[in-house]
Amino acid sequence: MGDKRYIRDALHGDIILPDHVRRIVDTRTFQRLRYIQQLATCHYAFPSATHSRFSHSLGVFHLATRIIEDLRERFPGKISDEDARLVPIAALLHDIGHPPFSHMFETPDVFANFAGHEEWGRRMLVDEECDISGVLRDLLGDGVERLLAIMSGDGVEPYLHEIVSSQLDVDRFDYLLRDQLVTGTDVGGFDLERLLRAINISDDDHLVVSVYSISAVEAYLVTRWHMYQLVYFHKLNMLTSVYYVRALKRARELHESGDLPLSLKMRDMLSNRNLSPYRYSQLTDSFVIADVFQWSDHGDPILSDYATKLSSRDGFHKRLRVELTFENVVQVLGPLEDLLQSSGYNPEHDLIHAPLRKEGYLPYQEGIHLDDGRDIMEASALIESISTEFARSMIFVPLEIRDQCEKLVRSIIE
């Protein structure tokens, strides 16, 4: 098999890459993940949160390798040599299809040729133009089909896919601990070692958790809940995401009306309705940042305003300090538009609504099951209490008018 490569990781210590994995990692297609930030614009709120999808993917590979080795020891004969080789590779490649700025740009508002990151990943892994597809064919032969099946969950034993993608998968283990580490958010964390040991394979081939390890799963789900509240749904993260997406939408409008020349990569993202997997695999955060910062000097006031805010971190809209339900938002948006209009602002650009919805632990979505057959929510009042969806609705307005807006909103909802 050849030499191993040792990579020192801030979270896991040494990560060992066997030679066949090293060959996958050293492709242009995979190395691109070095230049896609894991947390998009979170660094506006947490300056050290500049880690990449690359380090995260290596961490997920490491955890998948560990869990496979552990399960093979405890369930002899259950996992074949081929699957033991393929599952960690599937984990390594789970994020290969992410666009620049990860989930933030996963929208038809940005991509003229829109598809989700799983679909782009599948296309890149089988497209002959992408160097990774040739390496995979060389290493795995017909096993590439099995690899794709493990990644999608189609036609394989459920536990193989659930290691990579489920409510209790190695992807979540890594990003929760890694994101907590780099943001400096101290939410207690969870015992990864105990959680890995607690995972078993049920008689019907699903991953289940030992009834003696409920507290370990509780800590994991509580950590996830806190990270959404404090990091992923941070107001600056949400606001800067809106700025970026709006800037790119405006750039497309200006480009298609002949008022803004775009770089080749920006044209590929915003206007190429026949974008190929190879051209997609050339897209990273860096060209977006360079182009957006340059637009600060453009003559269009809307585009330059968003670009200037992002490049200077000044003049940001301010969040209304009123707790709003989604029903409240429906009530107040119209009156707020009228207030901004009468005060000389453009509601289309100066009234920003950032609705947030993220499912919490939901048992009917392939939940987490105990080895006695129960869903874990049946055995834990704590998990039941945090099982509702994360929902938050933020409205941002210019600072100069925030007090008036808050007064208006309170008068309506009270």
Token digits of residue 77: 């004969």
User: Would residue 41 count as lying in a domain?
Assistant: yes
SS3 state of residue 366: coil
Residue 330 lies in a domain: no
Residue pLDDT, tens place only, 131-164 = 999 999 999 999 999 999 999 999 999 999 999 9
Tokens of 404: 């008036």
Q: Tell me the backbone φ, ψ of residue 218, rounded to 5 degrees.
A: -55, -45
Under 8 Å between Cβ of 60 and 174: yes
Residue 124, pLDDT score: 97
Max Cα distance, the chain (Å): 73
Q: Are the CB atoms for 409 and 336 separated by under 8 Å?
A: yes
310: in domain: no
Residue 98 maps to a domain: yes
Neighbours of 51 (CB within 10 A): 22
Low-confidence ranges of the chain (pLDDT < 50): 1, 364
pLDDT computed for residue 1 by the predictor:
47
Q: Is residue 36 part of a domain?
A: yes
The pLDDT score that the predictor gives to residue 6 is: 96
- Asked if residue 18 lies in contact with residue 7, where contact means CB atoms within 8 angstroms, the answer is no
Q: Is residue 47 part of a domain?
A: yes
Quote the CA–CA distance of 65 and 84 in Å, as a whole number: 8
Claim: this prediction has a pTM higher than 0.75: yes
- Domain range for 180: 5-231
Q: How many domains does the chain have?
A: 1
Helix (H, G, I), strand (E, B) or coil at 123: helix
pLDDT of residue 57: 98
Strands 13-17, 5-9: pairing is: antiparallel
Residue 56, domain member (yes or no): yes
Q: How far apart are CA 275 and CA 99, in angstroms?
A: 13
What is the DSSP pairing of strand 199-201 with strand 13-17? unpaired
* CA distance to 32, 74, 152, 346, per residue, from 156 (Å): 29, 20, 9, 53
On whether the CB atoms of residues 363 and 387 are closer than 8 A, the answer is: yes
Which of these, 7, 383, 402, lies nearest to 167 by C-alpha position?
A: 383
Give the pLDDT confidence score for residue 187 in this predicted structure.
Answer: 86
Residue 135 lies in a domain: yes
- Amino acid, res. 113: N
**Inter-residue contact 291 to 304 (CB < 8 Å):** no
Residue 113 token pair = 């040729």
**Which CATH number fits the domain that encloses residue 98?**
1.10.3210.10
* Cα–Cα distance for residue pair 197/273, rounded to 1 Å: 47
